[in-house]
A and B are shown apart, each in its own frame.
Chain A
Amino acid sequence: EVQLLESGGGLVQPGGSLRLSCAASGFTFNTYAMSWVRQAPGKGLEWVSIISGTGHATEYADSVKGRFTISRDNSNNTVYLQMNSLRAEDTAVYFCVGGFYYMYYFDFWGQGTRLTVSS
């Protein structure tokens, strides 16, 4: 059974930093591209970032480019999202998602971790 378990969310002040983690199991992790997708309270879905199975390719939404960094550890089946210079508009539930192909649809989703950016 595929499982994606996000952690690391919480309350952060504007300008602060936080790192999200996503522990994966139940599939061949290093063959899947992994993404983060977020959902602000009461809003729709917004793709944030993607990393290829090898970790050699990454992409970011314009809204987070230069502030967020995605990475992965294939030896521990974990993907990370380092978030710096956080803003109120980054407040959202962050979903870890997996897709077999890079820049394709998302086959499976974690349950999400909540980030609140507020003073």
Chain B
Amino acid sequence: EFVLTQSPGTLSLSPGESATLSCRASQRINSDYLAWYQQKAGQAPRLLIYGTSRRATGIPDRFSGSGSRTDFTLTISRLEPEDFAVYYCQRYGDSLEFGQGTKVDI
């Protein structure tokens, strides 16, 4: 069974700080088919990153993705007030799976 594990569960930070979110896969992800989504309270998720490191249209460059094989990272530099949200990683291609989410909290 394929599982994506995100850590930490909650990240408590202040505006202006940087956030590092981890997503670990139980099996190697082929072709870097890993995406990240942001979900603000009461809203639908939106695509941030696909292909491990490619920013979706309109996503500011303070969001960056990296990683390979089984270990992936979303970095948010210089947190803005609107960045406090829940972030999900997703494997695609072979199957569609989400991690359980990381909440970035003030």
Contact = CB atoms under 8 A, between A and B. Distances in A.
Contact of B44 (A44, A59, A112): A112
A109 B46 contact: yes
A47 B98 contact: yes
Interface in A19-52: 35, 44-47, 50
B45 A45 contact: yes
B85 interface: no
Sorting the interface of chain B by its residue count into under 10, 10 to 19, 20 to 34 or 35 or more gives 20 to 34
Sorting the interface of chain A by its residue count into under 10, 10 to 19, 20 to 34 or 35 or more gives 10 to 19
Interface in B36-68: 37, 39, 43-47, 50, 56
B46 A45 contact: no
B29 to A, nearest CB: 12
Interface in A72-103: 95, 103
B92 A104 contact: yes
Interface string A5-22: 000000000000000000
B98 A50 contact: no
B74 to A, nearest CB: 14
A111 B44 contact: yes
A44 B101 contact: yes
A41 to B, nearest CB: 13
Contacts of B95: 103
Contacts of A108: 46-47
A88 B65 CA distance: 37
Interface of B: 33, 35, 37, 39, 43-47, 50, 56, 88, 90, 92-101
